[in-house]
C-alpha cells in the first residue's frame, strides 16, 4: 500500500477511534453521574467488568447467560429510579475520568478488602462437607479447589439438584475473591482472620448432602447426611467464632427445604440462606434474620428478544405435580377449573428428563405462568418462568420472595390470593383483562430483572450471587441490633464490637 492510499484510511480510522472513545466515555460518564439507583449502579459496574470477564457455567450443556444488553440499560435508568436513593454507592455526581479509571483498575485486580461490601471469614471445613461431596480430592494438603482455572472446578450435578446449588455458587465466589485475575464484583471478600470479618460463612453443601446422601448404604447405621450435620454442630460449638456471638453472625446455606433437618433447631441463631420458611418454626427461621435466595432455574434462559405478546399463543401455563400434600390442595381446585379452557395448558407432569425442555418451551410460548403453592410455599417454577420471560402469576399466600426489599415484584408478577383464585371464572377474567400494553410493560421489566436471578461463576455485577451478598449486608444491621440488645446486661464481660 502506498502512502497516498494509506492517508485517508488512517484519518478515517483515527476519526472512528476518537468518536468511539467519546461515545464510550460519555455513556460511562452518564451512568456514573446518574448513579443514584441500586440497579443502575450495578449496571455501571457491568460495563466495566464485561471487557475482562469470562462467562462460564460449570454445566456446559446449558446456554450461556449474557448480562442485560445495552437496550435494557436504557430502560433501567428511568426517571423514577433516578430519584430513588442509592442503597450502597451514594451519588457520585461529579465523577471524573480518573475516578472511572480507578474503578476499572479495581475490577481487574483482587478487590481491596477495605472497599468490599462484606468481609467474610470461611471455615476451612474438611472437604467431605463441600467439594468432597462432588468427588473432589485435594492433593498435597490442598484445602480448596484452585478456582483460577475453570478446568479444576468440580462440577455440580445437573438436573433437579441444580435448583438448590446456591451453596456451590457462594462458596466458589468466596474462593475466587482471593484469586488474582478473576474479574468479579467487589461485594464479598474472604478474609483469613475471623476477628476482622463481618460474617462467618459455613461452607457445607447441605442441599447436595440431602439430595445425594440421605439414604443408608451398605452397613451404615446413619446416613452420610445425618453424620455430616452432627459433625458440623460439633465443629461449630467448639469454635471461638461461634461462641463469640452465639452464632448470630454465621451464614448457613440450607436451600433445600429438607436440608439440615436434624440440626436446624440447634443452629437457629445463625443467618440461614433458604428457599422459604415453609418447614421452619418461626423461632428457628424468619424474615428478620434470614435470607431468601432464588432457586437456580432449570429451564434455559430465554434470549434477549423472547417472544412478545402476540407470539405467545398460550394464555396460561402450568405443568407440575397436581396432587400435593399440605397447602397443595389448591392445585387440584385450579385444575378442575381450568382444564377445559382452550388457551390454557394445565397438565400433570414431572420436570425430570425431557420434561425440563418441554416445560421451558411451553413457558416461552405462554403469556402467564402459574406458580401455585405446592408442598412448600416456593418452587423453582417461579424462577423458570422468569428465565422464560413468562409473566408469573403467584398463587401462594405464604410465599417469601428473594430480595423483595429492593425488587418490586408487582411490576413483573401478578399476585392472586388463593381464596380468589378458586372462585369460578376469577383467574381467567383477571388474566384476559391484562391487555397487550400492560403485559408488555411487565415483560420488559422481567427481561431486566431476570439477570438478578442468574447464578454463575465468576459472579457478575447484579447477578444472584452478588444480590445475595448485598442482602446479607443489609441484614447485618438487624444482626447488630439483636447483638446489641443481647448485650445490654452483660455489664462486665468484654463484648466484641461487631462494627
Ligand atoms: C491455580 O491454577 C493457576 C492456573 O492453572 C496457577 O497459575 C496457579 O499457580 C494455581 N494456584 C495454586 C495455589 O495452585
Ligand atoms: C486477627 O485480628 C485481630 C484484630 O484485628 C488481631 O488482634 C490478631 O492478632 C489477628 N490474628 C492474626 C492471626 O493475625
Ligand atoms: C469485550 C466484550 O467482551 N464485550 C462484550 C460485553 O458484553 C456485551 C453484551 O453481552 C457483548 O456483546 C460484548 O461482546
Ligand atoms: C482484559 C481484556 O480482555 N481487555 C480487552 C478489552 O477489550 C479490548 C478491545 O475489545 C481488548 O483489546 C482488550 O484486550
Between helix 464-486 and helix 166-176 the angle, nearest 10°, is 90
Phi-psi region at 260: left, alpha or beta (left = phi > 0; alpha = psi -120 to 50): left
pLDDT of 403 over the 70 cut? yes
Residue 116 DSSP class: S
pLDDT tens-digit profile of 352-365?
556 677 788 889 99
Pocket of ligand 1 (CB under 6 A): 146, 148-149
Residue with cell 383483562: 433
Residue 325: per-residue pLDDT = 59
Rounded Cα distance between 288 and 271, Å, is 9
pLDDT of 169 over the 90 cut? yes
Ligand 3: atom nearest CA of 69 is 9
C-alpha cell at 410: 408487582
Residue 493: per-residue pLDDT = 56
Residue 356: per-residue pLDDT = 72
Residue 236: per-residue pLDDT = 98
- Can you tell me the mean pLDDT for 227-236? 97
Rounded Cα distance between 272 and 288, Å, is 11
Phi-psi region at 248: left, alpha or beta (left = phi > 0; alpha = psi -120 to 50): alpha
CA of 69 to the centre of ligand 3 (A): 9
pLDDT of 394 over the 90 cut? yes
Confidence of residue 82 (pLDDT cuts 50, 70, 90): very low
Cis peptide before 483 (omega within 30 of 0): no
Confidence of residue 61 (pLDDT cuts 50, 70, 90): very low
Q: Tell me if 223 CB under 6 Å of ligand 3.
A: no
Residue identifier of the C-alpha nearest atom 10 of ligand 3: 66
Is the separation of the CB atoms in 345 and 316 below 8 Å? Answer: yes
Residue with cell 401478578: 414
CA of 40 to the centre of ligand 2 (A): 37
CA of 367 to the centre of ligand 3 (A): 30
Q: What is the CATH number of domain 309-453?
A: 3.40.50.2000
Rounded Cα distance between 55 and 201, Å, is 25
Q: Strand 250-253 relative to strand 199-202: parallel, antiparallel, unpaired?
A: parallel
CA of 50 to the centre of ligand 3 (A): 6
Is the separation of the CB atoms in 461 and 43 below 8 Å? Answer: yes
pLDDT, the chain, mean: 79
Rounded Cα distance between 3 and 402, Å, is 62
pLDDT tens-digit profile of 289-330?
999 999 999 888 876 667 889 999 999 999 877 665 555 678
pTM: predicted TM-score of the whole model, two decimal places: 0.75
Using CA atoms, how far residue 178 sits from 55, 193, 230, in Å, is 19, 14, 30
Residue 289: per-residue pLDDT = 93
CA of 198 to the centre of ligand 2 (A): 14
pLDDT of 439 over the 90 cut? yes
Q: Strand 414-415 relative to strand 250-253: parallel, antiparallel, unpaired?
A: unpaired
Residue 482: per-residue pLDDT = 81
Is the separation of the CB atoms in 236 and 246 below 8 Å? Answer: no
* More confident: 15 or 297: 297
pLDDT of 44 over the 60 cut? no
* More confident: 18 or 183: 183
Tell me the range of 75-84, 133-142, 149-158, 226-235 where mean pLDDT is highest: 226-235
Between helix 97-108 and helix 3-33 the angle, nearest 10°, is 90
Residue identifier of the C-alpha nearest atom 12 of ligand 1: 146
Is the separation of the CB atoms in 436 and 309 below 8 Å? Answer: yes
Confidence of residue 351 (pLDDT cuts 50, 70, 90): low
Residue with cell 431476570: 450
* More confident: 88 or 317: 317
CA of 166 to the centre of ligand 2 (A): 31
pLDDT of 265 over the 50 cut? yes
String of b and e for 455-483 (b: at least 16 CB within 10 Å)?
bbbbbbbbbbbbbbbbbbbbbbeebbeeb
Q: Tell me if 68 CB under 6 Å of ligand 3.
A: no
- Where along the chain do its domains lie? 26-107, 113-296+460-483, 309-453
Tell me the range of 61-70, 274-283, 353-362 where mean pLDDT is highest: 274-283
Ligand nearest to the CA of 194: 2
- Can you tell me the mean pLDDT for 428-448? 95
Residue 322: per-residue pLDDT = 64
C-alpha cell at 302: 430465554
Q: Tell me if 51 CB under 6 Å of ligand 4.
A: yes
- Can you tell me the mean pLDDT for 115-143? 93
Q: Tell me if 105 CB under 6 Å of ligand 3.
A: no
Rounded Cα distance between 345 and 487, Å, is 56
pLDDT tens-digit profile of 103-123?
444 444 567 888 899 999 999
Q: Tell me if 84 CB under 6 Å of ligand 3.
A: no
Residue 480: per-residue pLDDT = 85
* Most informative mutation of 50, 54, 456, 460 for ligand 3 (most atoms within 8 A of CB): 50
Residue 112: per-residue pLDDT = 80
Residue 35: per-residue pLDDT = 36
Residue 73: per-residue pLDDT = 27
Residue identifier of the C-alpha nearest atom 3 of ligand 3: 51
- Can you tell me the mean pLDDT for 412-432? 95
Amino acid at each position: 500500500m502506498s502512502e497516498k492510499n494509506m492517508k485517508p484510511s488512517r484519518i478515517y480510522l483515527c476519526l472512528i477511534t476518537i468518536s468511539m472513545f467519546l461515545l464510550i466515555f460519555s455513556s460511562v460518564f452518564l451512568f456514573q453521574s446518574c448513579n443514584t439507583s441500586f440497579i443502575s449502579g450495578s449496571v455501571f459496574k457491568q460495563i466495566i467488568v464485561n471487557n475482562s470477564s469470562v462467562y462460564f457455567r460449570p454445566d456446559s450443556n446449558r446456554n450461556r447467560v449474557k448480562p442485560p444488553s445495552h437496550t435494557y440499560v436504557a430502560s433501567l435508568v428511568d426517571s423514577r429510579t433516578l430519584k430513588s436513593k442509592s442503597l450502597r454507592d451514594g451519588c457520585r455526581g461529579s465523577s471524573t475520568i480518573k475516578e472511572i479509571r480507578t474503578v476499572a483498575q479495581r475490577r481487574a485486580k483482587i478487590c481491596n478488602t477495605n472497599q468490599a461490601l462484606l468481609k467474610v471469614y470461611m471455615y476451612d471445613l474438611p472437604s467431605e462437607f463441600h467439594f468432597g461431596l462432588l468427588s473432589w480430592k485435594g492433593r498435597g494438603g490442598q484445602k480448596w479447589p484452585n478456582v483460577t482455572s475453570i478446568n479444576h472446578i468440580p462440577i455440580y450435578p445437573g438436573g433437579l439438584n441444580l435448583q438448590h446449588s446456591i451453596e456451590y455458587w457462594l462458596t466458589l465466589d468466596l474462593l475466587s475473591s482471593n484469586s488474582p485475575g478473576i474479574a468479579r464484583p467487589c461485594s464479598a471478600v474472604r478474609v483469613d482472620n475471623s476477628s476482622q470479618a463481618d460474617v462467618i460463612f459455613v461452607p457445607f453443601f447441605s442441599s447436595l448432602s440431602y439430595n445425594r446422601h440421605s439414604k443408608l448404604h451398605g452397613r451404615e447405621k446413619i446416613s452420610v447426611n445425618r453424620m455430616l450435620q452432627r459433625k458440623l454442630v460439633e465443629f461449630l460449638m467448639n469454635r471461638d467464632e461461634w461462641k463469640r456471638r452465639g452464632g448470630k453472625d454465621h451464614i448457613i446455606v440450607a436451600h433445600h427445604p429438607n436440608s439440615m433437618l436434624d440440626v436446624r433447631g440447634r443452629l437457629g441463631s445463625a443467618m440461614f440462606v433458604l428457599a422459604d420458611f415453609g418447614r421452619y418454626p418461626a423461632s428457628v427461621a424468619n424474615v428478620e434474620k434470614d435470607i431468601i435466595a432464588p432457586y437456580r432455574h432449570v429451564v434455559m434462559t430465554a434470549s434477549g428478544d423472547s417472544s412478545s405478546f402476540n407470539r405467545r399463543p398460550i394464555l396460561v401455563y402450568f405443568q407440575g405435580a397436581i396432587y400435593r400434600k399440605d397447602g397443595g390442595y389448591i392445585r387440584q381446585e385450579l385444575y378442575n377449573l381450568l382444564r377445559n379452557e382452550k388457551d390454557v395448558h394445565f397438565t400433570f407432569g414431572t420436570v425430570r428428563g425431557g420434561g425440563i425442555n418441554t416445560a421451558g418451551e411451553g413457558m416461552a410460548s405462554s403469556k402467564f405462568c402459574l406458580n401455585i403453592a405446592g408442598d412448600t410455599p416456593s418452587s423453582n417454577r417461579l424462577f423458570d418462568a422468569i428465565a422464560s420471560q413468562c409473566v408469573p402469576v403467584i398463587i401462594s399466600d405464604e410465599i417469601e420472595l428473594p430480595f423483595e426489599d429492593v425488587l418490586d415484584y408487582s411490576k413483573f408478577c401478578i399476585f392472586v390470593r388463593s381464596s380468589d383464585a378458586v372462585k369460578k371464572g376469577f383467574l381467567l377474567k383477571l388474566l384476559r383483562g391484562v391487555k397487550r400494553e400492560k403485559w408488555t410493560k411487565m415483560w420488559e421489566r422481567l427481561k431486566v430483572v431476570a439477570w438478578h436471578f442468574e447464578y454463575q461463576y465468576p459472579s457478575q455485577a447484579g447477578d444472584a450471587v452478588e444480590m445475595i451478598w448485598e442482602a446479607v449486608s443489609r441484614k447485618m444491621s438487624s444482626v447488630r441490633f439483636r447483638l446489641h440488645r443481647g448485650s445490654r446486661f452483660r455489664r462486665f464481660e468484654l463484648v466484641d464490637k461487631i462494627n
